[in-house]
Amino acid sequence: MIKKLMTAAALLAMAGAASAATLYTTGVLDFNKTTKGSYLGKIGAAVPVTVLKKQGNLSYVRISGWTLAEYPSMIFAEPGVRIEYGSFDEESAVKTNPKAGEKVVQENKWVKATAEGWVQSAKLTNNLNKLWQQGKSRHAEACSMCHAAPKADHFTANQWASVLPAKGGRTGHTRAGANAVMFKYLQAHAKK
């Protein structure tokens, strides 16, 4: 109980401290090394980013999460959970920081990691609730065309990643395009 209260207090403190600089991506965004380009990879929708600096209509942001020690080309929200934050062509884009955290999940070693790059400022928002509302209505729309939409908490975040694959799913079963925010909404509100 005490531990739970402390966690809640710590989360509140973090939310307070970070609120000035933490924004969320409104869709899947290109992530570039310089303001002129030099493509590093993509960051997903509804991903928290810290804005470090701005230039013109661009923001230089940091994303923080976890990566597989053996295959550090993607960053995820948590070790062993397929909530994807970023996917990088340039492996050097991902900076691992084992001192900040390491964890073994199902025999895979995960380490804390960050990536920094430029994105379009107009594609960032401080209103995460609005993104979730958007995901929720898309879910109601996009699935009910064919069958009743299973509720978000019907599956775990990892199960949603299988139901809505990045490629090669059944028609309608995709996380791509207009479904990107919806997919993150489903994972964020999934069964724990």
Give yes or no for residue 146 binding ligand HEC (CB under 6 A). yes
Query: Token pair 């009743």 is at which residue?
Result: 148
User: How far is CA 76 from its chain centroid?
Assistant: 7
Q: Does 42 bind ligand HEC (CB under 6 A)?
A: no
Q: How far is CA 127 from the centre of its chain?
A: 15
Give the chain's largest Cα–Cα span: 51
**Token digits for 143?**
């699935």
Token pair 């070790």: residue: 79
Residue 136 makes contact with ligand HEC by CB under 6 A: no
Which amino acid is residue 152, in one-letter code?
Answer: A
14/25 Cα distance (integer angstroms): 19
From 22-30, 79-87, 124-132, 172-180, give the range in contact with ligand HEC by CB under 6 A. Answer: 172-180
CB 27 to ligand HEC: min, Å: 16
Cβ atoms < 10 Å from Cβ of 73: 16
- The yes or no reply on residue 145 touching ligand HEC (CB under 6 A) is yes
User: Among the candidate windows 8-16, 53-61, 94-102, 142-150, which touches ligand HEC by CB under 6 A?
Assistant: 142-150
Is 22 exposed, middle or buried (CB count within 10 Å of its CB: 0-12, 13-18, 19+)?
middle
- 167 counts as binding ligand HEC under rule CB under 6 A: no
Half-sphere exposure of 137 (CA within 13 A, CB side): 5
Q: Is 188 in the site for ligand HEC (CB under 6 A)?
A: no
Convert residues 88-117 into a mask of x (bound to ligand HEC by CB under 6 A) and - (unbound).
------------------------------
Beta carbons within 8 Å of 72's beta carbon, 6+ residues apart? 91, 94, 96, 111, 113
Query: Residues in contact with ligand HEC, total (CB under 6 A)?
Result: 13
Nearer to ligand HEC, 97 or 162 (CB): 162
Minimum CB separation of residue 138 from ligand HEC in Å reads 8
Span near ligand HEC by CB under 6 A; candidates 57-65, 103-111, 122-130, 166-174: 166-174
Does position 1 interact with ligand HEC (CB under 6 A)? The reply is no
Binding site for ligand HEC (CB under 6 A): 142-143, 145-147, 149-150, 163, 170-173, 179
